[in-house]
Amino acid sequence: MNPKFMNPEKNQILRKSLTALAIIAGSLMMLPLQGCKEKKAATNAVPPPEVSVYTVKVEEVSLATELPGRVNPMLVAEVRPQIGGIIQKRLFEEGADVKEGDVLYQIDPALYKAAYDKSKADLERAEAQIISLKNKFERYEKLIKSSAVSQQEYDDANSAYKTVEADIHACKAAVETARINLEYTQIKAPISGRIGKSNITVGALVTANHLTPLAVIQQLDPIYVDVTQSSSSLLRIRQELEKGILKKDKDRHSKAKVILEDESLYPLEGEQKFRDVTVDQTTGSFILRIVFPNPDKILLPGMFVRAVVGTGINSQAILVPQQAVSRDAKGRPVAMAVDNEGKVSQKVLTIAQAVENRWLIASGLSVGDRIIVEGLQKARPGATVKAVPFEEKAAQAAAPASPEKAK
């Protein structure tokens, strides 16, 4: 039917109906397009970053303290002459091991040999004189009883006899002195050990109590390692022992190890001998002496070392990997923790000491806390992350590839 022959009111209703149908058809055509956009936006959403976390737990650990120290010889002897004279011979090799009593230097003995011979002759002369004087005194002692000799004659005989008897004692002392001086012409090693360089040459004149030692002998096996420990750390350890935080390790309490200058570990263990009773006023520290066997002479006097000394056993220790701890703007040690919902928070820590490649935490963490070890650059306080156990991730990284993947 031609619309122009229809009623005008019906024409207007028809036009409105057609318009409504067109709008509905357009809306239906737009619905698939809108669904595609929403699906595409959901596909492009960024997932939370993945981090590896370490779950805090309690462990039992044997603690030790690393202290700086110096190596010192157990015995040191300066070789000095006790008489004067010309050095005739040097009877040792510099840097060699010598034994107690070995002859090191020979002083010209001629004058001392002559003095010894003269003192012996004086003794023999006195002993020869005393024979007649003794016999005379004994005769006069009998005759005085019968008044056959005067009292004066008896007294003179007695005095002469006693005088020569005293001369004999003096001569014996002179002989002994001369003999000792003659022996001192051989300068001997007072101790066993390693001798250093000679400070004097053959032909030089030496005197008794020479200012400069002729040589120095040091005993190197066993040897001392003297380390310094602060008095505050000693007080802290004692308090922890009293509170039960630390327990004494009976097997390791008196043992110690040494780290050498090249960071290598000395193979033999030492034993603590004593702690000094005086604290240095300038440094606030005291000396702890440790004795080490040194058969191969690896430890030398004056060498700088670091001694590892056992302090006790901590049965409630909280240890975390060192890479999990960083510093904030104030320089405080902090760790990033992840809760059960994946939210990141910052925890301020108190570190007691280092235990190998881990930190011993005094406060700031509780058992069960999960702290980020790897992926710290992806985590900020308040952010959401995906937590993966640190041990499992490390094990997967270390595991060899399967045959299929290898192909």
Sort residue 224 into left (φ over 0), alpha (ψ -120 to 50) or beta: beta
Q: What is the pLDDT of residues 1-37, one digit of tens each?
A: 444 445 556 656 666 666 666 666 555 555 555 555 5
Distance CA 327, CA 337 (A): 14
Residue 291 lies in a domain: yes
- End-of-domain residue from the set 314, 345, 377: 314
C-alpha to C-alpha distance for 305 and 302, rounded to whole angstroms: 9
pLDDT for the residue numbered 5 = 46
Number of structural domains (the chain) is 3
Domain termination residue (choose one: 291, 314, 337): 314
| Pair (126, 207) in one structural domain | yes
Give residue 197's identity as a one-letter amino acid code. K
End-to-end CA distance of the chain: 79
pLDDT at res. 72: 92
Residues 107 and 135 in one domain: yes
122 and 199 housed in the same domain? yes
Q: How many CB atoms lie within 10 A of CB 343?
A: 13
Angstrom distance (rounded) from CA 291 to CA 229: 16
Instruction: Say yes or no: 358 and 385 in one domain.
Output: yes
pLDDT, position 240: 67
Same domain, 92 and 152: yes
Q: Work out the angle at residue 227's Cα, subtended by the Cα atoms of residues 226 and 231, and round it to the nearest 5 degrees.
A: 130
Residue stretches of the chain with pLDDT short of 50: 1-5, 41-43, 392-407
Domain ranges, residue 69: 62-73+221-314
Q: 197 with 279, same domain?
A: no
User: The CATH number of the domain where 391 resides is what?
Assistant: 2.40.420.20
Whole-number pLDDT of residue 1: 47
Gap between the Cα atoms of 145 and 66, Å rounded: 90
Domain boundary at 196, 217, 238, which? 217
Task: Give residue-wise pLDDT tens across range 265-320.
Answer: 999 988 888 777 777 778 778 788 899 999 998 999 999 999 888 777 777 888 88
Q: What is the pTM of this model?
A: 0.63
* Calculated CA dihedral for residues 108, 112, 113, 117, nearest 10 degrees: 170
Q: What is the pLDDT of residues 318-345, one digit of tens each?
A: 888 888 898 888 889 999 898 888 888 8
CB 65 within 8 A of CB 308: yes
Confirm if 83 and 115 have CB atoms less than 8 A apart.
no
Domain identity same for 279 and 330: no
Residue 151 within any structural domain of the chain: yes
Residue 407: what pLDDT?
35
Rg value, the chain, Cα: 49
Q: Say if 308 falls within a structural domain.
A: yes
- Per the domain annotation, does 30 fall within a domain? no
Q: What is the pLDDT of residue 398?
A: 43
Q: What is the pLDDT of residue 10?
A: 60
CATH number of the domain bearing residue 278:
2.40.30.170
**Residue 392: per-residue pLDDT:** 44
> Is residue 359 a part of any domain in this protein?
yes
